[in-house]
Amino acid sequence: AQSVAQPEDQVNVAEGNPLTVKCTYSVSGNPYLFWYVQYPNRGLQFLLKYITGDNLVKGSYGFEAEFNKSQTSFHLKKPSALVSDSALYFCAVRDRDSGAGSYQLTFGKGTKLSVIP
Amino acid sequence: DTGVSQNPRHKITKRGQNVTFRCDPISEHNRLYWYRQTLGQGPEFLTYFQNEAQLEKSRLLSDRFSAERPKGSFSTLEIQRTEQGDSAMYLCASSPKEQGEYTDTQYFGPGTRLTVL
Task: Give the model confidence (pLDDT) of A18-50 as tens digits.
Answer: 999 999 999 988 889 999 999 887 789 999 999
d(CA B83, nearest CA chain A) in Å? 23
* One pLDDT digit (tens) per residue for chain B, 117 residues: 579 999 999 999 999 999 999 999 999 888 999 999 999 899 999 999 988 999 888 888 889 999 999 888 999 999 999 999 999 999 999 998 776 665 678 999 999 999 999
Of A44, A45, A105, the CB nearest to B45: A105
Q: Is the pLDDT score of A103 beyond 80? A: no
pLDDT of A82 reads 96
Distance CA A97, CA A103 (A): 11
pLDDT of A110 reads 96
From B43, B44, B50, select the one nearest B97 (Cα to Cα). B50
CB contact under 8 A, A49 and B45: no
Q: How far is CA A105 from CA A23, A62, B104, in A?
A: 15, 24, 9
Q: Give the CA-trace dihedral at B37, B38, B40, B42, to 10 degrees.
A: -20
CB contact under 8 A, B104 and A51: yes
pLDDT of A100 reads 55
CB contact under 8 A, B58 and A51: no
CB contact under 8 A, A43 and B41: no
d(CA A104, nearest CA chain B) in Å? 6
What average pLDDT does range A79-89 have in this prediction? 96
Phi, psi for A78 (deg, rounded to 5): -150, 135
